[in-house]
Amino acid sequence: MQLKRHSHGFTLTELAVVMTILALLLATGMMTLSAQTEARNNEEAARRINAAVDALVGFAITNRRLPCPASPNTTGDEDPIAGTGACTTWYGGFVPGKTIGLQPTDSQGYAVDPWGNRLRYAVANLITGCTGTSTTPHFTSAANLKANGVSCRPNDLDICQSSTGINAVSCNTATRVASAQTIAFIVFSTGKNGAVAAGYGPDEIANTDGDRVFVTRTYGTSETGGGAFDDVMVVVPAGVLYSKLVTAGVLP
């Protein structure tokens, strides 16, 4: 007597379980890939910012002054006020990639981060504590920088841990990241959400409002305390800049 063999396929329930498992595995893989991509972009942003800092210092050594920030309409060139050494914008401008020979840039010559957003650059204008008389602008004028000397301290850029408690001229009641009267210039990326101003958290808004007060802190989302924040910033103290210029023979 020959036995009949019956072949059984997957039941709908079994298929549903398999599909659920596959979906979970796929989602986990995608999340891992996304996290890896995000980490690489953040590392690349930091690398580009540090490269910009090096290029700005290199420009200062060669030209005996820092360049002015680029304005939105200067196609990647610095934007000084002719014949004065002063800048059209001190706190709301961009890294002048074309002027300092920095790559990569966008089609107009502005240095950009991995997300294609323009790297931002702010430089100190006001000074204090100088020995004898002093003339501004200081860091962006070769003649004034030489005449004023290294005793001068920047007296405007203020870097805070939060936008809560700040005003337009200082950290006020917010905790400072760096001591007052120490910062010569800053370079920063507005991060992945840089092109979507509507999604900025309050700390990110403080970095793009054009005044002299900035915020840097750990990464955060709209669900975390303090709101969204993915800006990446490098703060350069005046002492570091002076040291580089003295070593290069530019100062005193």
Express each pLDDT in 159-215 by its tens digit. Answer: 999 999 999 999 999 999 999 999 999 999 999 999 888 889 999 999 999 999 999
Q: Compute the average pLDDT of residues 122-150.
A: 94
Any idea where the domains of the chain sit in the sequence? 12-247
Instruction: Record the tokens describing residue 80, joined without a space.
Output: 């000084």
pLDDT bracket for residue 132 (50, 70, 90): confident
Amino acid at 169: V
pLDDT at residue 235 is higher than 90: yes
> How far apart, in whole angstroms, are the C-alpha atoms of residue 50 and residue 35?
23
Q: What is the mean pLDDT of the chain?
A: 90
pLDDT at residue 149 is higher than 70: yes
pLDDT at residue 2 is higher than 60: no
pLDDT of residue 202: 93
pLDDT at residue 85 is higher than 60: yes
In the β-sheet with 120-123, what is the strand arrangement from edge to edge?
93-94, 120-123, 183-189, 232-237
pLDDT at residue 24 is higher than 80: no
The DSSP secondary structure of 108-142, one letter per residue, reads TS-BB-TTSPBPEEEE---EE--SS---S--TT-H
- 118 and 111 Cβ atoms separated by less than 8 Å: yes
pLDDT bracket for residue 234 (50, 70, 90): very high
- 192 and 41 Cβ atoms separated by less than 8 Å: yes
pLDDT at residue 27 is higher than 80: no
